[in-house]
């Protein structure tokens, strides 16, 4: 639709500016965009912005009291505690008890906010206590797959499994005992890098986004039933 200005616009719409008193179109360029209304007050720079580099990904705790940030250039992982006051949210950087990966590639937070998974450029995945900021488990890289760097991570809705997407596919890990992650089955991934993974809320489907302009959906229930019939599953 044209001629309708949104409620946050300043004055008449661009289309209206180009019309005369009798609503006849008049010749002239559209109004410059810099004349539109902006929110009052100075723009505040969040504390996690520069000088730490380009933000690659982030995770926020279910209670909105913690924030975890992954930067790409230079690479780093940061943990912030968040506290809401009357007019703002105060953010304080936390110190890691155990150092996180130095070259992070992906991060995921468990649904209950208790466990962090952080992958790095070596192909390993570190499991960390999200509150204490300590290492509780590690998934070592496979020496026969040097390109199996997890570029996407996600926890199942019940927090008992971790899906890690790489150029080699999507590997599932059982986390009943986070200190001893156990490999499960692996899905063939999209061609190239895996960009994002997402479980359906009931955990029965997984969406996989890769370099191809399409999203793959996997029926995990049907797959696991087939593996059990072949005596290949648990």
CATH of the domain at 103: 2.130.10.10
Report pLDDT for 232.
Answer: 62
Residue 36 inside a domain? The answer is no
Residue 29 inside a domain? The answer is no
Residue 2 inside a domain? The answer is no
Q: Do residues 154 and 199 make contact, with C-beta atoms less than 8 angstroms apart?
A: yes
Sheet holding 182-187, edge to edge: 152-155, 161-166, 169-174, 182-187
Band (19; pLDDT cuts 50, 70, 90): very low
pTM of the full predicted structure?
A: 0.74
For residue 74, the enclosing domain spans 54-229
The alpha-carbon radius of gyration of the chain (Å, integer) is: 24
Cβ burial of 105 (10 Å; 0-12, 13-18, 19+) is: buried
Residue 21 inside a domain? The answer is no
> What secondary structure does DSSP assign to 132-172, as a single string?
TTEEEEEEPPPTT-TT----EEEE-TTSSEEEEEETTEEEE
CA distance 120 to 56: 13
Report pLDDT for 47.
Answer: 52
Question: What is the count of structural domains for the chain?
Answer: 1
Q: Do residues 130 and 68 make contact, with C-beta atoms less than 8 angstroms apart?
A: yes
- 122-157: per-residue pLDDT in tens? 899 999 999 999 999 999 987 777 668 999 999 999
- 201-225: per-residue pLDDT in tens? 999 999 999 888 889 999 998 888 8
Q: Which residue has the tokens 């943990």?
A: 79
CA distance 230 to 156: 24
């Amino acid at each position: 639709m044209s001629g309708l200005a949104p409620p946050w616009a300043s004055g008449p719409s661009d289309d209206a500016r180009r019309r005369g008193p009798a609503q006849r179109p008049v010749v002239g360029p559209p109004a410059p965009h810099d004349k539109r209304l902006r929110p009052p007050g100075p723009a505040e720079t969040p504390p996690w912005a520069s000088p730490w580099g380009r933000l690659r990904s982030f995770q926020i705790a279910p209670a909105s009291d913690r924030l975890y940030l992954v930067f790409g250039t230079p690479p780093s992982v940061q943990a912030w505690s968040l506290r809401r006051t009357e007019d703002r949210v105060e953010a304080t950087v936390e110190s890691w008890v155990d150092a996180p990966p130095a070259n992070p590639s992906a991060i995921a937070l468990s649904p209950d906010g208790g466990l962090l998974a952080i992958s790095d450029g070596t192909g390993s995945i570190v499991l960390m206590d999200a509150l204490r900021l300590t290492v509780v488990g590690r998934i070592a890289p496979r020496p026969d797959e040097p390109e199996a760097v997890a570029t996407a991570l996600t926890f199942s809705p019940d927090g008992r499994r971790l899906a890690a997407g790489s150029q080699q596919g999507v590997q599932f890990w059982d986390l009943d005992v986070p200190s001893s992650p156990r490999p499960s089955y692996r899905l063939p991934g999209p061609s190239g890098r895996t960009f994002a993974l997402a479980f359906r809320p009931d955990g029965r489907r997984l969406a996989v986004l890769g370099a191809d302009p399409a999203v793959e959906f996997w029926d995990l229930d049907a797959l696991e039933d087939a593996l059990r019939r072949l005596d290949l599953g648990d």
